[in-house]
Amino acid sequence: MSRGSFVFTPMALRSLEHDKDMLERDKYKKEIASRHLCSYVLKRTALDRAPLRSSIALPPVVCQDVVIQNALYIGDLKAMQHLFPRGSTANLIIEPQGGDMRWVNEGEGLWSLTYEQELTTPLHITAGRGFADCLKLLLQRGANVDLAPGGSTALHESCDNCQAECTKLLLIHGANANAVSEDGLMPLHFCTSPESLECAKYLIQYGAAINGRSLDEVDTPLHVAAKNGLPDHVELYLRYGAAVDRQNDEGLTPLNAACSQPQEVQDLERYFKVCQMLLEAGAVVHTMDQDRRTPLHLSCKNVNPDIVDLLLAKGACVNKMDYGGEAPLHNILKVVCYKVSHHPERIVRALLNHGSIRVWPGALPVVLKHCSVSPPTIEVLLNTYSQLKVTDTWVESVSAEVFQEHKGFYESIFSLALTPRSLQHLVRSTLRSFLEGRVHKVVPKLDLPTFIKNYLLLEFRGYIH
C-alpha cells in the first residue's frame, strides 16, 4: 500500500454504492420530467382551439418541474403563456415537493417516515388562489376541468377558498356543479363562510342540487349553511326550494343543526337570524335528534337567549326529556360557568316563566357551586321557591373569590338561614304557583303597574329577600 492511500471498509463501500444509486435515480427522474415537459410544451400540432375546453380529452401527465409549479403558485400569467403556448396541453398532474411527514407501511412490519404527497392540478392551484386570468389560459389549453387526482375537483377548491370569479369560469367551461369529492361532498357543501355566497349563487345557477346529500353525514347544503350560521346562504337555499325539515344521519334538521353549534358572543346574532328564517319557512320546533334532543335542548346547551325566546314563542316544550332524562333547564345550568358573557340568566328566567320544572331543593348547593359566577342566574332560580333551607353547605359552595366579588348578593342569600322570605315574595310565589305554566301569557295582560309585572316575571334586582 502506497503512502497516503486509504483502505475503504465494507460499510464505507456500501454507503458509496447507496449514494451512487440515489444519484442515478434522481437523474432518471429529471430525464422523465424533461420528456414530459417537451411533450406538452414543444411537441403538439398547433390546432385551433375553441374558447371552451376541447372535446378531445388528453390523458394527464405528471409534472414535477419546479419552474412550472412556481409560475402556477404565484399566478405568473406571462410565464404561463410561455410555458403553455397555443397547441400545448395544460392537462397535468402536479406532485408538489415536500408536504407533511407520515409513517408508511412498506410491508413485513417495516415502516418508514416519508413525505405525504398530495396530487393536484394547475386548475386546482390557480382556482384556489383566485388567479382567474391564469385559470382562463389553462382552460383554453384544454385542461380537464373535472380532473380530481387528490380527491376533489378544481371547483371544490375554488368554492372552498371563496373564489367566485374562478368558480364562474369553471362552470362556464363545463365543470360538474354536482361533482362528489372522495369525502362525499358536493361543491355546495364547501360553501361554509359568508364570503362563499357568490360561489353558491353560481353553483345553483349552473344546476347544483339544492337538496344534494353528503355521503357520510347526509347533510344538505341547508344543513351546512345552518351549522355555520350563514343567514344569506339560508335565504338563498330556501328561495330555491331547499327542504326545511330534512334530517341527516344524526336526526338533525337544519334548525336542530343551527342550535347544536357552539357559538361565541359575536356569533349569536347570525345563528338567531338563521333560526328565524328557518322557522318562518315552516321548520318544526319539536323535531328530536337521535338522542331525543329538541332545538330547545340544543340552544340551551349553547346559550343563545334570543333563539330560546324564539323557540318558546313558537311553542317549544320546556319539559321535554332527552334520552339522558334531562330537560332544557338542566342543559343551561350545566354550562352557566362557561358562558356568563352569553347572559344565561335570560334563558333560566324564560324557561321558568314558561313552566319549566325546577331543581330539586336538595340539589341547590350543587347548582350554587357551579353557577355562583353568575349571580343573576342564582337569583332567578332561587326566586321560584317560597322557602329556602340555607345551611353551611350553601356557604361552602361559594368560593372566597366569588363571594368577595359579589359580596352583597351572597350575604343576602346566606342571611336567609335566620330569616324567612319576605311577604312580598310569598305573594309572588303563590300567584306564580296558581298560574303554573301560564305566567308568561297572563302576567303581561294584568292591569298592574309595569314594575309589579316585572317583579312577577322574576326581574333581576341583585339581591334575595
Cα–Cα distance between 250 and 82 in angstroms, integer? 52
**140, 254, 340 from 327: Cα distances, Å:** 60, 21, 20
All cell numbers assigned to 33: 420530467
Cα–Cα distance between 104 and 123 in angstroms, integer? 29
3-state secondary structure at position 269: helix
Tell me the sheet residues that pair with 111. Answer: 105
Which pLDDT score, from 0 to 100, does residue 39 have? 40
Q: Where are the alpha helices (DSSP H) in 42-92?
A: 66-74, 77-83
Cα–Cα distance between 8 and 380 in angstroms, integer? 87
What burial letters (b/e) apply to 426-441, b meaning 16+ CB within 10 Å?
eebbeebeebeeebbe
Which pLDDT score, from 0 to 100, does residue 457 have? 96
Which pLDDT score, from 0 to 100, does residue 106 have? 62
Residues 147/62, Cβ–Cβ less than 8 Å? no
Q: What is the DSSP letter of 415?
A: G
All cell numbers assigned to 337: 360557568
pLDDT tens, the chain, 465 aa long = 444 444 446 665 566 666 666 666 555 455 544 444 444 343 333 333 333 443 345 577 787 778 888 889 899 899 988 888 887 778 888 876 555 556 656 666 667 666 556 788 999 999 999 999 999 999 999 899 999 998 999 999 999 999 999 999 999 999 999 999 999 999 999 999 999 999 999 999 999 999 999 998 999 999 999 999 999 999 999 999 999 999 999 999 999 999 999 999 999 999 999 999 999 999 999 999 999 999 999 999 999 999 999 999 999 999 999 999 999 999 999 999 999 999 999 999 999 999 999 999 999 999 999 999 999 999 999 999 999 999 999 999 999 999 999 999 999 999 999 888 999 999 999 999 999 889 999 999 999 999 999 999 999 999 998
Cα–Cα distance between 228 and 143 in angstroms, integer? 33
Q: Where are the alpha helices (DSSP H) in 229-334?
A: 231-239, 254-260, 268-280, 295-301, 305-313, 328-333
Tell me the sheet residues that pair with 93. Answer: 62
Q: Looking up cell 413525505, which residue turns up?
A: 115
Q: How many CB atoms lie within 10 A of CB 148?
A: 20
Cα–Cα distance between 423 and 387 in angstroms, integer? 11
CA-nearest of 392, 396, 390, 303 to 351 is 303
Which pLDDT score, from 0 to 100, does residue 186 have? 97
Cα–Cα distance between 370 and 419 in angstroms, integer? 25
**56, 61, 63, 71, 391 from 35: Cα distances, Å:** 22, 10, 10, 19, 87
Q: Where are the alpha helices (DSSP H) in 334-420?
A: 344-353, 364-371, 375-382, 392-397, 400-405, 407-414
Which pLDDT score, from 0 to 100, does residue 6 have? 44
Q: Walk me through the domains of the chain, giving residue ranges and CATH numbers.
A: 30-41+60-96+116-207 (1.25.40.20), 363-465 (no CATH)
Q: Where are the alpha helices (DSSP H) in 207-294?
A: 221-227, 231-239, 254-260, 268-280
pTM above 0.85, yes or no: no
Q: How many CB atoms lie within 10 A of CB 172?
A: 16
Which pLDDT score, from 0 to 100, does residue 108 have? 61
CA-nearest of 31, 37, 85 to 61 is 37
Residues 214/184, Cβ–Cβ less than 8 Å? yes
